[in-house]
């Protein structure tokens, strides 16, 4: 069983069992309607006393886990974290967490998960910790990645909520895993003489949808036919999940003078061992032929080489898309050959750019 008197101090938090001293705070949480405490926590003030005396500790008494409060420097409950579904024979457990809405965005969940998982491996014989999060819950996915968990797969329609079924991402952390999260490109902003390059936001949805539905874009990409704003919203979420997993990053380019959406550009297929990546892009119809895309590609390449230490950037453009090939050539890429029937049966010209090409 877990230590009943566990007390884990982090930089800003103490993880400890719930107790009678939390009565006023838990009563306030119940009355507010916020739902972040463990399953079974009271939703009415009348149930607070019994839950603190018994309910919050039943998981521990079962031998299958423990519920802990995340307490701040004033010993105020700002969240909760639990170990559950523990199998001592198999050597596995699962971690779950929740943070009060007024205290989200401060890194408390990541801090708590990292501390609790380190404690588990230091004080027990357990060998694996599971973590699950809804695929559309980017905040929770970010916590898992930052806490060093490995994204292992997606369970389709695995949970049912009020708005219907949701996919569930399965993460795992093993005793022998490195304590630090895997590599990922950081969120950033880049500036060129005419453009601001930043991560896509909901404000880009109309521009992304119009660009994705454009006839020329459709002809030279694998985007869904009849591309809609819903597709664009999904794309933005996919891009952030890609970044968190260390698989790439997307940039939205906007024009300084008008703040209009100019293009989407993304780095993908990152090889961290060999420090190589591929870049792709799609430009808004109104912005084509003005050198915007090449300007953005060059800025991203410099950032990738000079700030992230990458050694090669690949670009592929359809043989039938001379505009895209011109972007590559004007940005200094070297043509290396043709990949036959590489995209929907169409040949793609393969280009590369090295740090020395930008010197």
Domain edge (last residue) among 143, 174, 205 = 174
Tell whether 305 and 219 lie within a shared domain: yes
**Residues 223, 249: one domain?**
yes
5 Cβ contact list (under 8 Å, min separation 6): 17
Contacts of 109 by beta carbon, 8 Å cutoff, 6+ apart = 79, 81, 97, 98, 99, 140, 143
Chain Cα centroid distance, residue 136: 10
Scored b (16 or more CB within 10 A) or e, 171-201 reads bbbeeebeeebeebbeeeebebebbbbbbbe
Does a structural domain hold residue 2?
no
Q: Write down the residue that tokens 């566990």 correspond to.
A: 6
pLDDT tens-place values along the chain, 359 residues long: 788 889 999 999 999 999 999 999 999 999 998 889 988 898 888 899 999 999 889 989 898 999 999 999 999 999 999 999 999 999 999 999 999 999 999 999 999 999 999 999 999 999 999 999 999 999 999 999 999 999 999 999 999 988 999 999 999 999 999 778 889 999 999 999 999 999 999 999 999 999 999 999 998 888 888 999 999 999 999 999 999 999 999 999 999 999 999 999 999 999 999 999 999 999 999 999 999 999 999 999 999 999 999 999 999 999 999 999 999 999 999 999 999 999 888 899 999 999 999 97
Confirm if 154 and 170 have CB atoms less than 8 A apart.
yes
User: Do 125 and 86 share a structural domain?
Assistant: yes
- Residue 181 belongs to some domain of the structure: no
Q: Are 218 and 316 contained in the same domain?
A: yes
- Which residue, 144, 174, 204, sits at the end of a domain? 174
**Is 180 within a domain?**
no
Choosing from 122, 150, 174, the residue where a domain stops is: 174
pTM: 0.81
Residue 184 belongs to a domain? no
Are 89 and 45 found together in one domain? yes
Report the domain count for the chain.
2
The pLDDT assigned to 259 comes to 96
Q: Is 354 helix (H, G, I), strand (E, B) or coil?
A: coil
Token pair for 26? 């838990």
Residue 137 lies in a domain: yes
Neighbours of 15 (CB within 10 A): 23
Both 39 and 161 in one domain: the answer is yes
The pLDDT value given to residue 105: 92
User: Is residue 179 in a domain?
Assistant: no
Q: Any idea what the CATH number is for the domain that residue 301 is in? A: 3.40.630.30
147 and 214 inside one domain:
no
Q: Are residues 136 and 197 in the same domain?
A: no
| CA dist., res. 308 & res. 266, Å (int) | 15
Same domain? For 201 and 330 the reply is: yes
Pair (111, 235) in one structural domain = no
202, part of any domain: yes
What domain range is 289 assigned to? 190-358
How distant, in Å, are the alpha carbons of 18, 96, 160, 172, 223 from that of 156?
34, 19, 11, 17, 22
The confidence score (pLDDT) of residue 3 equals 83
Do 145 and 286 reside in the same domain of the chain?
no
50 and 75 in one domain?
yes
């Amino acid at each position: 069983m877990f230590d009943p008197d566990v007390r884990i101090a982090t930089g800003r938090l103490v993880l400890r069992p719930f107790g009678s001293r939390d009565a006023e705070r838990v009563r306030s949480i119940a009355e507010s309607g916020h739902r972040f405490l463990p399953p079974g926590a009271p939703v009415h003030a009348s149930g607070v006393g019994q839950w603190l005396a018994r309910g919050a500790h039943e998981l521990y008494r079962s031998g299958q886990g423990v519920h802990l409060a995340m307490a701040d420097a004033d010993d105020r409950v700002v969240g909760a974290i639990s170990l559950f579904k523990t199998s001592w024979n198999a050597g596995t457990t699962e971690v779950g967490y929740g943070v009060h809405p007024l205290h989200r965005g401060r890194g408390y969940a990541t801090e708590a998960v990292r501390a609790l998982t380190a404690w588990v491996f230091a004080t027990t014989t357990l060998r694996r910790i599971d973590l699950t999060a809804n695929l559309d819950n980017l905040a929770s996915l970010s916590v898992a990645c930052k806490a060093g968990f490995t994204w292992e797969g997606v369970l389709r329609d695995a949970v049912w909520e009020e708005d219907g079924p949701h996919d569930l991402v399965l993460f795992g952390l093993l005793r022998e895993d490195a304590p630090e999260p895997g590599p990922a490109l950081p969120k950033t902003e880049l500036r060129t003489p005419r453009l601001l390059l930043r991560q896509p936001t909901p404000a880009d949805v109309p521009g992304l949808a119009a660009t994705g539905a454009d006839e020329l874009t459709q002809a030279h990409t694998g985007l869904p036919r009849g591309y809609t704003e819903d597709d664009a919203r999904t794309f933005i979420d996919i891009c952030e999940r890609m970044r968190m997993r260390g698989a790439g990053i997307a940039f939205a380019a906007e024009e300084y003078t008008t703040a209009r959406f100019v293009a989407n550009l993304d780095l993908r297929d990152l090889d961290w061992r060999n420090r190589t990546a591929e870049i792709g892009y799609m430009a808004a119809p109104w912005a084509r032929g003005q050198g915007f895309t090449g300007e953005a590609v060059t800025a991203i390449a410099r950032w990738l080489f000079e700030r992230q230490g990458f050694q090669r950037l690949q670009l592929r453009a359809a043989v039938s898309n001379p505009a895209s090939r011109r972007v590559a050539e004007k940005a200094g890429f070297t043509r290396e050959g043709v990949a036959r029937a590489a995209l929907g049966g169409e040949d793609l010209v393969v280009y590369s750019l090295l740090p020395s090409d930008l010197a």
